[in-house]
Structure 1
Amino acid sequence: MLAKELISEVVPSLKTSDTGLDALNWMEVFRVSHLPIVNNRSFLGLISDVDIFDLNKAEEALGNHSLSFTRPYVYAHQHIFDVIEVASRLKLTVVPVLDKNEEYLGLITQSDLLHTFADLVAAHNSGGVIELELLPNDYSLSEISRIVEDADAKVLSLYVSQPTGSEKLCIAIKLNRVDVRPVLNAFDRYDYSVKTTYVGDDSYDDTVKKNYDALMRYLNM
């Protein structure tokens, strides 16, 4: 998914001749806190509601306002992950998109970005989530996928993170089935450390998992 595919068709840009009051009105309509200032497809910068309130002269033209974010943007060919990084790092509610000649094409809203990312990670699909905890050298995507599939399940999405200060990776796996117990049992056989498991609003804690494993071992005796 590229940035150019996420551009909003409804949220407008501003001109330097627009007033701070104009900007605030549009921000309220579209529920954003930032809007780009564009003159003849030339992206001048991003103005926030805080910029306007700080100047305390909302009736003045935007050309008289200083910008807290000079020119944050992404290019049309950049991936959604790049858009998320910019939006997250700068805490933006919109991200401007430019072409290779650095001309303004449009913007991506935080709301559209969130909805698209939810589709990418299969957030709308029914299924459980298992989080594994392991050292980087022990991580193998092919092995994790094989274990899941051997337990008659499929990986809908998987993402890796490393908490600050931790030597271990956290592997979050979204499955295509709600009953994740066969997959938990399979990971246990291969000595994987399961950090936690979620099934909708329910959560299997470590005690439940241990009790289940004990029952399975008893039945297999």
Structure 2
Amino acid sequence: MLSVDALSKNFINVSITNTVDEALDILNQFKIKHLPIVKSKAFLTIISEETLKAAHPGTIMKDFVNKGVKKFVRQDDHLLDAAKAMVDEELTIIPVLEDDESFMGIITMEDLFTKIISRFGLNSDGSLLVIEVPQQDFQLSELIRILEMENVHLFSVLVSMENFPNIEITLKTDIKDINSVLQTLERYSYTVKAYFENDQYIHQLKDRYESLISYLNV
């Protein structure tokens, strides 16, 4: 799951000769709040919508090359590295560069969301289960064994340390009736924090996606 695999399709590059008005049109077209400024194949910086709106409409992008954020990922970086870079810098896009520093394109927040949902199997039929266990008691092999006893197949396992020393584990499974699994996990002292059966989960994904698009349209 490499960054190059999530490049935005048909993105229009912004060069140092484009004006603020032209750049704002591109922001609106792709529903993003940040743009990379590129000279030929060289990535220069990321400029924000806020900065552009504060400038004169006829100002050219060359005037912004010493401003903004010079953040990027390389084509062979993991997609989650791209996600981390976007979150750390509060960006709606991240540029992707080749090994020789040549600009390849960008990943948008929408691209990232869609690719992660697909690659972790979160859009497949089944249920989403969120459990919690103390860090010292967590063994992935044991958890998998328990689920195998219930004839459950896993599409993905996501582990969060946010509530350390407890570990939160999000499981995407192929099971449609989750009641028996809940009872088994509780017998093994796992705390079930939440679960979403297929129709409910798809509805929540749709709501979150629409919230994201609404945010990008602000």
| TM-score, normalised by the number of residues in structure 2 | 0.86
1:35-184 to 2 correspondence within 5 Å? 35-55=35-55, 57-65=56-64, 69-163=68-162, 166-184=164-182
The total of aligned residue pairs comes to: 201
Q: Is the 8 A contact 2:14 2:23 kept in 1?
A: yes
Q: Is the 8 A contact 2:37 2:65 kept in 1?
A: no
Partners of 1:157 and 1:68 lie apart in 2 by 40
Give the residue type in structure 1 aligned to 2:89: L
User: Which residue in 2 is equivalent to 1:28?
Assistant: 28
Per-residue displacement from partner, 1:191-212 (whole Å, max 9, x unpaired)? 2222222224659xxxxxxxxx
Segments of 5+ residues of structure 1 without an aligned counterpart are 204-221
Give the residue type in structure 1 aligned to 2:54: D
Segments of 5+ residues of structure 2 without an aligned counterpart are 202-218
Per-residue displacement from partner, 1:166-197 (whole Å, max 9, x unpaired)? 42111111110121112112212322222222
| TM-score, normalised by the number of residues in structure 1 | 0.85
- State the identity %: 26
Per-residue displacement from partner, 1:123-145 (whole Å, max 9, x unpaired)? 21121222211111211111111
Per-residue displacement from partner, 1:81-122 (whole Å, max 9, x unpaired)? 101101122221211011112111111111111100011222
Partners of 1:58 and 1:72 lie apart in 2 by 25
Q: Is the 8 A contact 2:45 2:65 kept in 1?
A: no
Whichever of the two has the greater Rg, that structure is 1
Partners of 1:3 and 1:83 lie apart in 2 by 7
Partners of 1:178 and 1:3 lie apart in 2 by 32
- Give SS of 1:170's match: strand
Q: Is the 8 A contact 1:2 1:77 kept in 2?
A: yes
